[in-house]
Amino acid sequence: MTAALAPVPGRTKLAIRGVEMTFRGGDAEVRVLEGIDLDVREAEFVCILGPSGCGKSTLLNIVAGFLAPTAGTVRIDGEDVRGPDPRRIFVFQERGVFPWLTVEGNIGFGLGRLAKEERQRRIRHYVRLVGLEGFEKAYPHELSGGMKQRVEVARALAVDPDMLYLDEPFGALDSITRLEMRRELLRIWHAEKKTILFVTHDIEESVQLADRVVVLSARPARIRRIVEIDLPHPRDLSARRYLELRDGIFEEIGLAHKV
């Protein structure tokens, strides 16, 4: 298992150039992504924000190597992305957890090539990191949604990837658990310094988490704006700057402030 390259803040990790995606379904062609250019720096936390169905998940799948774009390139550390890679782990929603393996089994899934002791050590470390001590032998169907999500995150982290891709990972959770999970994620990010790409449709979430928010338009998706979030962590949700940035994005998307 190659150790993650020591992150050099500021260096370009991910370079997306001119990515376009067109799906051919039946006799119709659906243009999902248009002219996406984006650079992501090492150890950055970038949120991709857009309404449901706009193509943000498609973009993430392309970056992760599960889909090939109809045009454009994706380069990580200077190399073309040609397929999924254990150095960049995709965190699906809780459904990505393997239901036939226990918590331990899931977290240790990518660690097959390690010596048994090392594997056990890592599993224990990440079980503790995500707060699931005591549940090592439980099966996913015995766990709540939030716990399953944590298993998935632990599984991703256990193989020590350089990059994490998260596709609306907290979407199926209740709002209280969501707040907790965001805090957890930030804590882990500070501790492990991974480069993170996080897809969401939740404006508040993006401002709470990201260094930069990439706002996508509706389909066909283009980058409307990239917002720098210059707030320190931990972020005060009532601070004026937070509200400014949040409202700015609201306006960008064209939403009113009143319900």
Partner 1 sequence: MIPQPPAGNKGGRVNSAGLTDPETAVPRPLPVRRSRLIPFAGIALLLVLWDLAIRFGNVPLLPGPVAVARAIGELAYRGFLVKHLVASLFRVTWGYLLAVSVGVPFGILLALYRRGGLALAPLVEVVRPISALAWIPLAILWFGVGDLSSVFIIFIASVFPLAVAAMSAVEGVSSTHWNAGRNFGLSAGEIGRRVLLPAILPRLLVGLRLALGIAWLVVVAAEMIAVNSGLGFLIIDARNAGNRYDLVVAGMVLIGAIGLGLDFAMRRMEGLPALRWGYAGGAETP
Partner 2 sequence: MKSRFRLESALLPAAAAAAIAALWWAAVVWTKTNVFPSPAAVARGIAELARKGLLLAYVRDSLLRVAAGYGAALAVGIPLGVILGWRPEAGRAANPVIQFLRPISPLAWIPVAIVLFGVNDGAAIFLIFLASLFPILVSAMNGVRGVPAMYRQAGANFGLAPGALLARVVFPAALPEILTGLRIALGVAWIVVVAAEMIAVNSGLGYLVIDSRNAGKRYDLVVAAMLLIGAIGLLLNILVQRVSRLRAVRWGFREEAS
Give the interface with partner 2 as residue ranges (CB under 8 A).
Answer: 24-27, 95
Min separation Cβ 222 and partner 1, Å: 26
Angstrom distance (rounded) from CA 123 to CA 128: 9
Q: Is 139 in the site for partner 1 (CB under 8 A)?
A: yes
Element (H, E) at 206: helix 203-209
Q: Is 138 in the site for partner 1 (CB under 8 A)?
A: yes
Backbone angles phi, psi at 219, to 5 degrees: -65, 140
> Between 145-158 and 175-192, two packed helices, what is the crossing angle to 10 degrees?
10
Find where tokens 């720096």 sit: 41
| Burial (CB count <10 Å: 0-12, 13-18, 19+), residue 41 | middle
> Residue 169 or residue 207: which is nearer to partner 1 going by CB?
169
Give the N- to C-terminal CA distance of the chain in Å, as an integer.
51
> Residue 97 or residue 123: which is nearer to partner 2 going by CB?
97
Nearest residue to 148 (alpha-carbon basis) of 192, 112, 186, 101:
101
Q: Is 92 in the site for partner 1 (CB under 8 A)?
A: yes
24 binds, among partner 2, partner 1, none (CB under 5 to 8 A by kind): partner 2
Q: Are 173 and 206 in contact (CB under 8 A)?
A: no
Min separation Cβ 95 and partner 2, Å: 7
Pairing of strands 12-25, 28-41: antiparallel
Min separation Cβ 140 and partner 2, Å: 16
Residues 8-47 as x/- pattern, contact with partner 1 by CB under 8 A = ----------------------------------------
In the range 151-180, which residues lie near partner 1 by CB under 8 A? 159, 172, 174
Which listed range, 89-97, 122-130, 229-237, 249-257, lies at the site for partner 1 (CB under 8 A)?
Answer: 89-97
The DSSP bridge partners found for residue 199 are 48, 167
Which listed range, 26-34, 135-143, 193-201, 239-247, lies at the site for partner 1 (CB under 8 A)?
Answer: 135-143
> Residue 73 or residue 144: which is nearer to partner 1 going by CB?
144
Q: Give the total of residues touching partner 1 (CB under 8 A).
A: 35
108 binds, among partner 2, partner 1, none (CB under 5 to 8 A by kind): none
Angstrom distance (rounded) from CA 256 to CA 17: 33
Angstrom distance (rounded) from CA 177 to CA 158: 22
Helix, coil or strand: residue 48: strand
Question: Which positions lie near partner 1, rule CB under 8 A?
Answer: 64, 66, 83-86, 88-90, 92, 94-96, 98-101, 109-110, 112, 134-135, 138-145, 147-148, 159, 172, 174
